[in-house]
Amino acid sequence: MIASIPSIPSVITHCAELDQFVERVQDAEWIAVDTEFMRDSTYYAKLCLVQIASADCSACIDVLKLDDHSRLLELLQSPQQIKIFHSARQDIEVLHSEYDLIPQPVFDSQIAASILGLDEQISYAELVSQILDVHLAKTESRTDWSRRPLTSAQINYALDDVRHLGPLYLHLKKQLEDNQRVHWLDEECTGLCNKQQYVVAPEHAWQQVKGVGRLAPEILPITQALAAWRETTAIEKNLPRRWILSDQSILQLAEDKPRSEAHVTMSLRKDSSKSLRYSKVISTLLEQAYKNTHPLHFVDRRLSREQQDLVKRMMKVSRKRSELIGTSASLLANRKSIVSLVLGLESKIMQGWRRQEIGQDLMNMLN
C-alpha cells in the first residue's frame, strides 16, 4: 500500500501564511485540491474553504478570512502543476463562479477509476477504502462550512479530502499507463475544463425546465421568456431559481396564458405562493412574450418502439464491450449518449477514444 501524505493540520487565515504555504508547494509535481462551499439559499455557491495538499504538507485555506486571494489563484492556475480532484465538476464550477478561473491541468480520480473499471460515480471515501485500505469518517459531511471558528473535527475532515488524493493519483496514474489509457483521461479532463460548460446563458435556460418537452411548440417562446427572466433575476438577487419561479409554475403559466395580473396570480397559486411577489413583472413579461412568433425547436427525444428496441440492443453490446475491456459501462456509453446516436444527434460515443472502442460498432447497428 502507498503511504498516505503526512498531514500538517493547519488553517491559513493570513496572507503571510498563504505566501509561506504557496512557496512550499508551488514547485511540486502535483497538488491535491478540494473545496467546501454552501449553496442552500443562494444561486451561486458560497466558497468557504479550499484544501490543498502536496506530498509533504497540507492546509485548509480559509477564503472567508483572507483579504487577498491572489497567491491562491496563482497556484491554481500554474500550467506546469497537476491539480488532483475527485469528482471535480462542482469544485471547478465553484472556482469559476468565484474567481472566473478554470484550474488546469486536472487529474480527476473519479474519472480515472471509472476508466479502470470501477463505478462511474464511486465516492472518494469508497475509492480510498478500496485502493489505500483507509476508512474515512463521515461525521462532518453535513456541516455548515460558513460558520467560524472551524472545529478541529471540521479541519481534520476537510484535510482528509486531500490527504489521500496524492497516493490515489500515483496508483491510478500507473494503472492508466499500464493499460495505455492515459489519453482517455486526458480527453475527459479536457472536456471537464471547457469553460463554456460553466457559462450561464439565460436565453437557453428554457431547455433545462423539467417537463418542457410536453409543451406545444407554439408556447415554447413563452417558456423561453419566463425561464430567461427567472435565470437573470436569480443571478441578480443571488437566490435559488426555485425561489423566484418553479419549473412547474413556468409550465403552468405557459399553458394557461394568463392575460392579466390577476390571472397570473391565480396560475402561480396552483403551485406555490413564493412567486406571487413577481405577479406584476411576470404579467408585463408575458404581454411581450405573446407577441413573439419566432419558433423555437425543442429536440423530441421520445423513441419509437423500434428505436427503443435498438437502444436496448446497443446498451447490451456496450455492457459486453465494457466487461471485455475492463471499464465502466456508463462511462463508455450511457443511455443518454446512445439515444442521441439513435436519434441522429451529436453523441460523445462518436468522439475520441469512445469512437474507437465502441462508437463505430454501434454506428454499424444503425445501418
pLDDT for 5 equals: 42
Does one domain contain both 45 and 163? Answer: yes
Residue 301 CB: number of other CB atoms within 10 A?
Answer: 12
| Local confidence band at 2 (pLDDT 50, 70, 90 cut-offs) | very low
Residues 127 and 189 in one domain: yes
Q: What is the mean pLDDT of residues 204-222?
A: 90
Q: Is the domain of 280 the same as that of 139?
A: no
Closest CA relative to residue 47, chosen from 59, 65, 29, 32? 65
Residue 309 — φ and ψ, nearest 5°? -65, -40
Q: Is residue 43 part of a domain?
A: yes
Do 55 and 176 share a structural domain?
yes
State the average pLDDT over residues 114-131: 96
Question: In the chain, what percentage of residues exceed pLDDT 90?
Answer: 86
CB atoms inside a 10 Å sphere around CB 311: 17
| Model confidence, pTM | 0.91
- Residue 184 confidence class, pLDDT cut points 50, 70, 90: very high
Q: Do 265 and 120 belong to one domain?
A: no
How large a percentage of the chain has pLDDT more than 70? 97
- At 1, is the pLDDT very low, low, confident or very high (cuts 50, 70, 90)? very low
| One domain for residues 222 and 329 | no
Q: How far apart are CA 122 and CA 125, in angstroms?
A: 8
State whether 45 and 88 are in the same domain.
Answer: yes
In the DSSP assignment, the letter for residue 355 is I
Residue-number span of the structural domain to which 158 is assigned: 11-197
Q: Are residues 29 and 161 in the same domain?
A: yes
What's the number of CA atoms in the CB half-sphere (13 Å) around residue 141? 7
Q: Looking at residue 315, which CATH number applies to its domain?
A: 1.10.150.80
End residue of a domain, out of 262, 289, 316: 289
| Per-residue pLDDT tens over the stretch 313-333 | 999 999 999 999 999 999 999
- Domain membership of residue 342 (yes or no) is yes
Q: Is residue 18 in a domain?
A: yes
Q: How confident is the model at residue 269 (pLDDT cuts 50, 70, 90)?
A: confident
Cα separation, 199 vs 97, in Å, equals: 9
What value, to the nearest 5°, has the Cα angle with vertex 302 and ends 298 and 307? Answer: 130
Is 298 domain-assigned? no
191 and 228 part of one domain: no
Which of 165, 197, 229 corresponds to the end of one domain? 197
Check pLDDT > 50 for residue 9: no
Tell me what pLDDT residue 24 has: 94
Domain termination site, one of 243, 260, 289:
289
How many Å apart are CA 129 and CA 136, to the nearest integer? Answer: 8
103-126 average pLDDT score: 96
Number of domains in the chain: 3
Whether residues 84 and 141 fall in one domain:
yes
